[in-house]
Structure 1
Amino acid sequence: MAEVEDKLKDYEIIREGEAEILQLKKNAVFFNPVQALAASGLRSLRYACEVDGLGKVVALDIDKASIECCKRNIKFNGASATSKVEAHVADARVYMLTHPKEFDVVDIDPYGSPSVFLDSAVQAVADGGLLMCTATDMAVLCGTNGEVCYSKYGSYPTKGKYCHEMALRILLASIESHANRYKRYIVPVLSVFMDFYVRVFVRVFTSASEIKNTPLKLSYIYQCVGCDSFHLQCLGRTISKNSTVKHAPAIGPVVPQECSDCGKKFNVGGPIWSAPIHDQDWVVSTLAGVKSMKDRYPAYDKITSVLTTVSEELHDAPLFFSLHNIAGTVKCMSPSLVMFRSAVLNAGYRISSTHVNPLGVKSDAPWDVIWDIMRCWVKNHPIKEQPHDSPGTAILSKSPTLEVDFSRAVAALSKAQMKKVKRFLPNPERHWGPKVRAGRKITSKHVSLLGPEAINSILNGAVSHEDGNGAALDKPAPEPEGIKDDEPSTKRQKTGDDEEANEP
């Protein structure tokens, strides 16, 4: 017993759910490098310890040190984990390719883009199995690097307030594209944007006839460069004749050369997944199950808040717009969300919130109705004169064709809002977000990611468990004035010759 305790003195025990792992005390935290999908094995161990009826879990990692750590943690969790979890040093892509349709569940959670794993992942899932995929390269998916997004996912993103939902739909379209090459298709179960990443849960099926419907699930985006209007152009259509259904290209474009609302041009993006991104019945069932086992979920509040908001979304209204954004376009004070929702409902259309953005609004109302509501709102709340060539001026110059009713509608508040259910929770800690990729040096440039206290402790050689992130540390000598970048100054220092040359 004393020998075991002596071996464990260099480790600290980290518990998550019902699984425990050993972490060297000198390391700050564990992390998932882009090439290592299993890393410490924590998630694999949680599956083994918490999921009933599980046969086996295969943990893959290309890094030998990670697999050694994973095997150590498997043994630490006892005979139950040892009998269920296998750890292999292998390239996950090759392993999945050599085990087609073998796994009921495949979980991909790399650091950054999962694009290189998708082709092998869709082949490794059994028919009707579940593929879970995470992407953290949000700058790429949200339009900052559109050309990179196209090279990785086959879609070109447009910039808009809906960018995080668009990221989900680009990822789904990419998975569908990879699956179609092997006569397979996907059915999304749950797709969420959380914190700083997107994660999708899809079931994978095989059917040569069903993949013919894929063009009906994909659309291009026309995003106006002047106002917030966006329009979707489906890739395909079906023609029914007698008892046969024929597939044909879609008829378009759905927009003129210039925006009918503000007169500006359109940017074109996509294709994106425009079919539903959730299985509403599954979401409602899961939410009820989580509520019935509240004590088993340490992150109960977070889980229920996301699932509650997802359950209230309009599943057939792709993307969303921001109420503050459309008010900013016409330079007016924003109406309250309840008043705006009431106006849409009283006009005979549907409207809902979105789990992506607290100010986001989903609706099946066309854009001419949305802008008519804003025109009527501005009539009651006059604004200052705007430049004649601004999009807002062009929109307000037209008379509304709709008689807008702002009176309170019965369904203006969702059931969750009426019950005061928490839907959007604050970040769990300061400087919450993705940390530095493993192996990179930590300098004062990373203060926005880690916080000034963490940077000070790191540069002084005292790395705490809470503030570090497992990356290589750069430890320059501390300076009394504060933290300075370790890059050399670009300003040339004066020499004696310079001083003599400057003398009169």
Structure 2
Amino acid sequence: MSDAGSPSITVPEGFTLHTENTSHILISSKGEAFLNPVQEFNRDLSVACIRVWSEELNREKETKWKQTQERRAKREADADAKAGQQKDQKKPKMESGEQSNDPEDNSPGDDPATGNTLSEVNKREYRPHKFVLLEALSATGLRSIRYAKEIPLVRFVIANDLSASATAAMKRNVELNGLGPSPDPTESALSSSMISEHQPHDRGKVRINEGDACALMYNHRTEKTRVDVVDLDPYGTAAPFIDGAVQCINDGGLLCVTCTDLSVLATTNYPEKCFSNYGGIPVKAEYCHESALRLVLHTLSTSASRYGRYIEPQLSLSIDFYVRLFVRIHSAPIEVKKAASKTAMYYICQGCQSFYEQPLGRMIDKVHERSGNVNLLFKTQAGPSVGQKCTECGSAQHIAGPMWSGPLHNNNFLSKVLEHLESNQGKYGTAVRMRGMLTVAKEELHVPFYFTPSRIAGFFHSICPPLDDVASALLNAGYRVSRSHALAGSLKTNATRQDVHDVFRSWVKKHPVRMDKISETSLARQLLAKEARTEAIFSRHPQSVTQASKIKLVRYQQNPAPNWGPGTKADSGTKRKREEEDE
């Protein structure tokens, strides 16, 4: 998106100017750093989410600050009152109408010069919390520049890259946007502990560091040097950077993660690679993109747990060719103990794609008889939840996970992001799509995995019922229904897959299939051999999915555009430097 009010910029020969919102960067024809224009949606979404998170964190800190001030004022008032009582007891009584010249005889807590109470004199104003953001893999620096220019509460951004050519490009782009070194020596001194002093360009709103991303994050894992936000947007998997990231974030901080290796996360082509990167086995089913999110969340959860920390997912999206997650990091031993009960293995039917959840742990609430206090007990989970064959169609199953089984999103956070977007649509080039995807995510049920009526109709060899008919049948049966952001035409429900299949068995009774066209050993024969336990009611339910579609929104990814996909990784710069020296 171009900024209509952007200043005229002289573009040197061999460069092209790329403008996105308020930021401008020069891209070299030599390909010194990687930039994918399609990722503008990712960057817009990140700016909005980090901005909303920073405002919420600031509100939390302001509330705590006010509570502290109130407690302090109360203590001072109590101390002043006690001191006044003691002084009155020691002071000799004066005759009627006699006045004291002792300045201490003024009312306790009063300032004789102004008449204000001391609590009013000493009252300080709250200063907004400014946060530090670390982008571990910055490439051209566009993302860091946008963060510095578009998020008001940013104190400064540390933009890091291992490539010498990338850091050279970043320096050029940072200066182009007026975010270079600060002339204020006080502000420069504040950052001396944040990034290494030997770097020549380590001051300003965007402070550039050339080095290994993991080493940089490990250098910030002590409490005094931690940052508030870490953004991981690598080429491929973010797995090698997660351990350092979860350690270097302040309590309540935000971790933003992108993974573009969906050929590993969302297929079973490379299960050994998925296990080595994410500690789990992927899913082979139409809901594989949601399982990809849950595999990454599992990695974040287990990585944080090692250090007495836990994750709170704010937003987890499967977008185009990658996943993007926004997760808050907190420290609390009791919450770490709950991680096992939010983790599960899944048995995935290779025929009808039914899934069976096997939690790894469970929590028991034990109420003390006398005090009434509730204690949590953590136990192992009984298993397995299913045999070797699928109970629906008798097909073999493959095991997937472990993966995160808790919520993918925080609805309160999503509401605030949508509110922010509503009043700032002109600031985001992809605002229409952002609004659509965030709306679907907010409506999404906090249950694992979705299905599409068209796929299940294919299993039954029947014509496909309308989306609203399937949703209404489930709602009429007392279940909840929503869409999933990960796939167009999908539904999520708290009904079991057997309940969903019963809806289709009822549908087949009204729309019979040609059994003579179905093989005796086919999947459809196995599914149709069972009778529906209850007759589905297809009459339109007032809360069917059409209610969520009254407002026309771009809810799902659009057809591939130019620059689609993760692109080609940029050269490191070291090889090019040697070639230039040889010339």
Same fold (TM over 0.5): yes
- Structure 1: distance between partners of 2:362 and 2:19: 51
- Structure 2: distance between partners of 1:24 and 1:151: 36
Q: State the AA in 1 paired with 2:256.
A: M
2:191 match? none
* 1:424, distance to aligned residue in structure 2 (A): 2.3
Please give the per-residue CA displacement for 1:189-224, whole angstroms capped at 9, x wherever unaligned.
000011110010000011122100001111111111
Note closer, same or farther for the CA distance 1:399–1:7 as it changes in structure 2 (3 Å cut): closer
Please give the per-residue CA displacement for 1:404-432, whole angstroms capped at 9, x wherever unaligned.
10111111135430223332252362572
Note closer, same or farther for the CA distance 1:247–1:80 as it changes in structure 2 (3 Å cut): same
Query: What secondary structure is seen at the aligned counterpart in 1 of 2:154?
Result: coil
Does 2:334 align with 1:175?
no
2:394 match? 263
* 1:98, distance to aligned residue in structure 2 (A): 1.0
| Unpaired stretches in structure 1, ≥5 consecutive residues | 441-469, 471-504
* 1:359, distance to aligned residue in structure 2 (A): 2.0
Q: Is contact 2:432-2:553 (8 Å) kept? A: no
1:136 match? 260
- Structure 1: distance between partners of 2:181 and 2:426: 23
Does 2:354 align with 1:222?
no
Q: Is contact 2:457-2:464 (8 Å) kept? A: yes
Within the candidate set 249, 262, 266, 1:125 is matched to 249
Q: State the AA in 2 paired with 1:403.
A: E
Please give the per-residue CA displacement for 1:270-328, whole angstroms capped at 9, x wherever unaligned.
0111100100111122112101111111111121111111111112x111112111111
- Structure 1: distance between partners of 2:429 and 2:9: 29
Q: Is contact 1:312-1:414 (8 Å) kept? A: no
Q: State the AA in 2 paired with 1:19.
A: S
Within the candidate set 412, 416, 423, 2:548 is matched to 416
Note closer, same or farther for the CA distance 1:125–1:311 as it changes in structure 2 (3 Å cut): same
Aligned runs of 1:223-262 on 2, under 5 Å? 223-243=348-368, 244-262=375-393
* 1:391, distance to aligned residue in structure 2 (A): 2.1
Q: State the AA in 2 paired with 1:437.
A: K
2:457 match? 327
Q: Is contact 2:349-2:397 (8 Å) kept? A: yes
- Structure 1: distance between partners of 2:392 and 2:266: 25
Query: What secondary structure is seen at the aligned counterpart in 2 of 1:327?
Result: helix
Within the candidate set 257, 266, 273, 1:148 is matched to 273
Please give the per-residue CA displacement for 1:58-110, whole angstroms capped at 9, x wherever unaligned.
01111111111111111111157862111011101001001115111000000
Please give the per-residue CA displacement for 1:348-376, whole angstroms capped at 9, x wherever unaligned.
10111100001221000112211111111
Does 2:46 align with 1:46?
no
Query: What secondary structure is seen at the aligned counterpart in 1 of 2:491?
Result: strand
Aligned runs of 1:16-165 on 2, under 5 Å? 16-25=20-29, 27=31, 30-31=34-35, 37-79=137-179, 83-100=204-221, 101=223, 102-143=226-267, 144-165=269-290
- Structure 2: distance between partners of 1:279 and 1:142: 23
Note closer, same or farther for the CA distance 1:26–1:267 as it changes in structure 2 (3 Å cut): closer
Query: What secondary structure is seen at the aligned counterpart in 1 of 2:543?
Result: helix
Q: State the AA in 1 paired with 2:170.
A: C
Q: Is contact 1:49-1:81 (8 Å) kept? A: no
- Structure 2: distance between partners of 1:11 and 1:232: 53
1:443 match? none
2:336 match? 211
1:490 match? none
* 1:437, distance to aligned residue in structure 2 (A): 3.0
Please give the per-residue CA displacement for 1:460-494, whole angstroms capped at 9, x wherever unaligned.
xxxxxxxxxx9xxxxxxxxxxxxxxxxxxxxxxxx
* 1:394, distance to aligned residue in structure 2 (A): 1.3
Note closer, same or farther for the CA distance 1:64–1:430 as it changes in structure 2 (3 Å cut): closer
2:581 match? none
1:340 match? 470
- Structure 2: distance between partners of 1:173 and 1:437: 27
- Structure 2: distance between partners of 1:410 and 1:436: 48
1:272 match? 403
Q: Is contact 1:131-1:202 (8 Å) kept? A: yes
- Structure 1: distance between partners of 2:170 and 2:553: 39
* 1:7, distance to aligned residue in structure 2 (A): 8.0
Aligned runs of 1:268-307 on 2, under 5 Å? 268-307=399-438
* 1:10, distance to aligned residue in structure 2 (A): 4.0
Note closer, same or farther for the CA distance 1:29–1:94 as it changes in structure 2 (3 Å cut): closer
Does 2:532 align with 1:393?
no
Q: Is contact 2:468-2:546 (8 Å) kept? A: no
Q: State the AA in 2 paired with 1:129.
A: G
1:369 match? 499
1:451 match? none
Q: State the AA in 2 paired with 1:341.
A: A
Q: State the AA in 2 paired with 1:15.
A: T
Note closer, same or farther for the CA distance 1:428–1:321 as it changes in structure 2 (3 Å cut): closer
* 1:245, distance to aligned residue in structure 2 (A): 2.0
1:313 match? 444
Q: Is contact 1:36-1:62 (8 Å) kept? A: no
Q: State the AA in 2 paired with 1:360.
A: S
Query: How large is the Cα RMSD of the aligned pairs?
Result: 2.2
- Structure 2: distance between partners of 1:294 and 1:434: 27
Query: What secondary structure is seen at the aligned counterpart in 2 of 1:321?
Result: coil
Aligned residues: 435
- Structure 1: distance between partners of 2:9 and 2:349: 65
Note closer, same or farther for the CA distance 1:393–1:295 as it changes in structure 2 (3 Å cut): same
Query: What secondary structure is seen at the aligned counterpart in 2 of 1:268?
Result: strand
2:509 match? 379
Instruction: Give the structure with higher Rg (CA).
Output: 2
Note closer, same or farther for the CA distance 1:248–1:8 as it changes in structure 2 (3 Å cut): same
| Unpaired stretches in structure 2, ≥5 consecutive residues | 1-7, 37-134, 183-203, 369-374, 577-583
Q: State the AA in 2 paired with 1:85.
A: V
- Structure 1: distance between partners of 2:549 and 2:31: 43
Aligned runs of 1:397-476 on 2, under 5 Å? 397-427=529-559, 429-430=561-562, 432-439=564-571
* 1:25, distance to aligned residue in structure 2 (A): 4.4
- Structure 2: distance between partners of 1:421 and 1:40: 32
Identity value in percent: 38
Q: State the AA in 2 paired with 1:156.
A: I
RCO higher in 1 or 2 (8 Å CA, sep ≥ 6)?
2
- Structure 1: distance between partners of 2:441 and 2:155: 31
Note closer, same or farther for the CA distance 1:10–1:259 as it changes in structure 2 (3 Å cut): closer
Q: State the AA in 2 paired with 1:254.
A: S
Q: Is contact 2:483-2:545 (8 Å) kept? A: no
